[in-house]
């Protein structure tokens, strides 16, 4: 239950989606293949072998979706641009105009409805043609991203005033090259993972001036998925593993962005474990950290859960018993721990000079289905958002400069490796008929927005 105390008057209530997860129209109007097209068509990579060929068919049904956004009453909407709609292979000199036109019309309509667009330039679906030259492990990606950012901001920058360069670099770098769950699906390749993280950060920094020049008076930031981490016990093994986790998950991105340095303890520990060599770090060139730490206007924070870290290199009989009791989990298996959002925000405020934060994603997967009256009573989703918004308000009261909250997600969509099996939306989507039906959470959020964060 959210306390009666209100959020700041101009607080931005929004929802978020991303191109590959909702658009479909995989080869319409000159769009090229993205790495997610390739990956989802590789047998065995996605639950149920689902793919985003059609997804929510937002590419064709967007007028309906804007009506739903309007009905929901959001003040802002975070969407991403599909890079291969703009540069089909990534290598073209000039952009594909029908791709730009699609987003231009969508943005005009959002603005006509008084909804502020927040654009993410890279929400993972990079052109396959760029993956073919090495993807993010190649330094050439920096120029490719700067060119793409230039053309998108040149075209939309008169109307779009909020820009996010990348979404969750950790997922691209770690899930793509260590865990092997995301494209390109490599495992335990720390050199490629770190190089990828570095090129993502560098391309972020290098694109800022281009975007600023094209989009006057705009705000520019990057979105990180961040998570507080707690050792599973007080053993030195778990404490050490937890420190490593924090370094590779949070500090690997926050430190270069805000402190102009990489966490040396992370590199030292990878070298000690013989996972990289000191000479591998030569992906870092003179001047790079200066470019990465260019001043931005905000940090986007995606928050879902906390991490309880156990040292898996130590056999259980040598370690102390696990002391942390896990709370209830969502259908995704992620623990529900709203207080961690508060802790995370307070920690960021303490450790980094960040002037403005947006929660660019927060949400939960629950597979509630329509009942016989076609009502979708997703009460657990309501509880999840309510509890997190309450902790966010506590953090704001304690001085955290957060100016907006984007719920993930407007509607059920293609949840990456989970396919259509995990539903995060305020709107139920029937993936056969593509019919949209607002869930109870939709009406709850609408009411919350009308009352600026107060639950009535």
Phi, then psi, of 408 in degrees rounded to 5: -100, 110
**Exposed, middle or buried by CB within 10 Å (0-12, 13-18, 19+), for 398?**
exposed
- Listing DSSP states for 286-310 in one string gives TTHHHHHT---SEEEEE----EEE-
Residue number with CB closer to ligand FCB (155 or 302):
302
Contact 218, 163 (CB under 8 A): yes
Assess whether 355 carries a catalytic annotation: no
Residue 125 within binding range of ligand FCB, rule CB under 6 A: no
Residue number with CB closer to ligand FCB (21 or 296):
21
Residue 159 beta carbon to ligand FCB: minimum distance, rounded to whole angstroms: 24
Rg of the chain taking only CA atoms, in angstroms: 21
Give the count of residues interacting with ligand FCB (CB under 6 A). 12
Residue 398 beta carbon to ligand FCB: minimum distance, rounded to whole angstroms: 26
User: In whole angstroms, what is the distance from residue 41 CA to residue 261 CA?
Assistant: 39
Identify the DSSP state of 90.
S
Residue 18 within binding range of ligand FCB, rule CB under 6 A: yes
* Residue 406 three-state SS: strand
Selected catalytic residue, list 168, 210, 391, 415? 168
Residue 168 within binding range of ligand FCB, rule CB under 6 A: yes
- The token pair at 201 is 């950060």
Count the helix, strand and coil residues of the chain and give each as a percent rounded to the nearest 5.
45, 15, 40
Residue 378 within binding range of ligand FCB, rule CB under 6 A: no
User: In whole angstroms, what is the distance from residue 361 CA to residue 322 CA?
Assistant: 30
Assess whether 71 carries a catalytic annotation: no
Residue number with CB closer to ligand FCB (167 or 291):
167
User: In whole angstroms, what is the distance from residue 81 CA to residue 60 CA?
Assistant: 15
Q: Per CB under 6 A, which region of 33-41, 129-137, 164-172, 349-357 contacts ligand FCB?
A: 164-172
Residue number with CB closer to ligand FCB (210 or 415):
415
Contact 338, 391 (CB under 8 A): yes
Residue 416 within binding range of ligand FCB, rule CB under 6 A: yes
Residue number with CB closer to ligand FCB (120 or 291):
120
Pattern 312-351, ligand FCB, x by CB under 6 A: ----------------------------------------
Q: Per CB under 6 A, which region of 60-68, 165-173, 250-258, 347-355 contacts ligand FCB?
A: 165-173
Pattern 30-69, ligand FCB, x by CB under 6 A: ----------------------------------------
Cα distances (angstroms) measured from residue 4 to each of 181, 208, 244, 384, 394 = 42, 39, 40, 18, 12
Residue 303 within binding range of ligand FCB, rule CB under 6 A: no
Residue number with CB closer to ligand FCB (149 or 225):
225
- Which residues are near ligand FCB by CB under 6 A? 18, 21, 167-168, 171, 225, 302, 361, 408, 415-416, 424
So which residues are the catalytic ones?
168, 361
């Amino acid at each position: 239950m959210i306390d009666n105390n209100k959020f700041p008057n101009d607080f931005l209530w929004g929802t978020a989606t991303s191109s590959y997860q909702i658009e479909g129209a995989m080869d319409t109007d000159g769009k090229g293949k993205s790495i997610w097209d390739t990956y989802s068509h590789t047998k065995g990579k996605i639950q149920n072998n689902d793919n985003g060929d059609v997804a929510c068919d937002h590419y064709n049904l967007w007028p309906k979706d804007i009506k739903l956004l309007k009905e929901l009453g959001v003040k802002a909407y975070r969407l991403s641009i599909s890079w291969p709609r703009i540069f089909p292979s990534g290598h073209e000199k000039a952009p594909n105009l029908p791709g730009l036109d699609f987003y231009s019309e969508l943005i005009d309509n959002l603005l006509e409805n008084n909804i502020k667009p927040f654009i993410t330039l890279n929400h993972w679906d990079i052109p396959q043609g760029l993956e073919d030259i090495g993807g993010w492990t190649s330094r050439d990606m920096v120029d490719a991203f700067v060119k793409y950012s230039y053309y998108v901001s040149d075209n939309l920058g008169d109307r779009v005033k909020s820009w996010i360069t990348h979404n969750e670099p950790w997922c691209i770098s770690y899930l793509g090259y260590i865990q092997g769950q995301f494209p390109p699906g490599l495992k335990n390749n720390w050199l490629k993972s770190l190089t990828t993280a570095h090129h993502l950060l560098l391309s972020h920094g290098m694109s800022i001036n281009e975007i600023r020049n094209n989009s006057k008076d705009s705000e520019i930031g990057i979105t990180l998925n961040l998570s507080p981490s707690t050792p599973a016990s007080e053993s030195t093994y778990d404490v050490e593993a937890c420190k490593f986790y924090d370094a590779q998950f949070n500090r690997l991105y926050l430190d270069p962005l805000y402190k102009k340095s990489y966490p040396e303890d992370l590199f030292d520990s990878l070298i000690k474990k013989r996972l990289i060599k000191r000479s591998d770090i030569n992906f870092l060139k003179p001047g790079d950290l200066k470019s990465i730490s260019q001043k931005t206007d905000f940090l986007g924070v995606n928050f879902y859960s906390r991490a309880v870290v156990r040292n898996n290199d130590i056999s259980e009989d040598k370690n102390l018993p696990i002391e942390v009791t896990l709370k209830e989990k969502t259908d995704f298996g992620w623990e529900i721990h709203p207080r961690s959002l508060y802790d995370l925000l307070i920690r960021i405020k303490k450790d980094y000079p960040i002037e403005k934060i947006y929660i660019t994603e927060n949400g939960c997967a629950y597979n509630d289905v329509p009942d016989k009256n076609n009502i979708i009573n997703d009460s657990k989703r309501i509880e999840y958002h309510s509890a997190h918004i309450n902790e966010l308000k506590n953090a704001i009261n304690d001085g955290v400069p957060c100016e907006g909250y984007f719920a993930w997600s407007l509607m059920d969509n293609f949840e990456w490796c989970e396919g259509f099996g995990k539903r995060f939306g305020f709107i139920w989507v029937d993936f056969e008929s593509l019919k949209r039906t607002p869930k109870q959470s939709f009406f709850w959020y609408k009411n919350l927005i009308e009352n600026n964060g107060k639950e009535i």
